[in-house]
Structure 1
Amino acid sequence: MFYDCLKEIGWKKFGIFAAGVAFGTAGIKILSSKDAKKAYTQGTAAVLRAKECVMKTATTIQENAEDIYEEAKSINEARAAEEEAEMCEEETAEKACQEEAVTE
């Protein structure tokens, strides 16, 4: 009867399970070793350096964008002042023409 139970066990599945347990146990030992810790530390340090580089670049881009925005505002203000001056000149010339027409 015991022998019949052993025949019904899927040895392939059992072998896969046993290999998984062995690999998992070995994997935990490998992941918690000093060499692995050194690799994690080096990887983290590289990520921190990359973050610092990205932040510097982002700050530079932001500063440049602020400069561009301020220059664009001053250009638009100057253009608006020129247009206003032109409109005043046109109005003045128009009034002068009307006054001439009235006096004639």
Structure 2
Amino acid sequence: MAFQCNTPAIPTVQEENDTLRITRWDFQPGAVTGWHRHGWPYFVVMLVDGTLRIHNGKDVTDVPLVAGQSYMRQSGVEHDVMNGSPHPIAFIEIEVKRPEALA
């Protein structure tokens, strides 16, 4: 289940190799990623203060975050992410394709 929205968030892949993919995500107010599943563990680092509105298929949760704040999730997460802020937001997503290569 995804948010009903016609404004997509804009992903810009900044670096990609066999081990990592680093993507900058830019969201206008109300923009969404679209429903997706994460195939790898990933980290998110906020570039500005903002609220991520997360739809997990059942519930919608607002997650306020500040610039520089980060979090990590394991592979398998399925969700849609919306900018729940009244202003544009952006974050960096770092997907770890080969976690064993970083050990």
Q: Would you say same fold, with TM above 0.5?
A: no
Structure with the larger strand share: 2
Q: TM-score scaled to structure 2, two decimals?
A: 0.14
State TM-score, norm by structure 1: 0.14
User: Which of structures 1 and 2 has the larger relative contact order (alpha carbons within 8 angstroms, sep 6+)?
Assistant: 2
Q: Which has the higher helix share?
A: 1
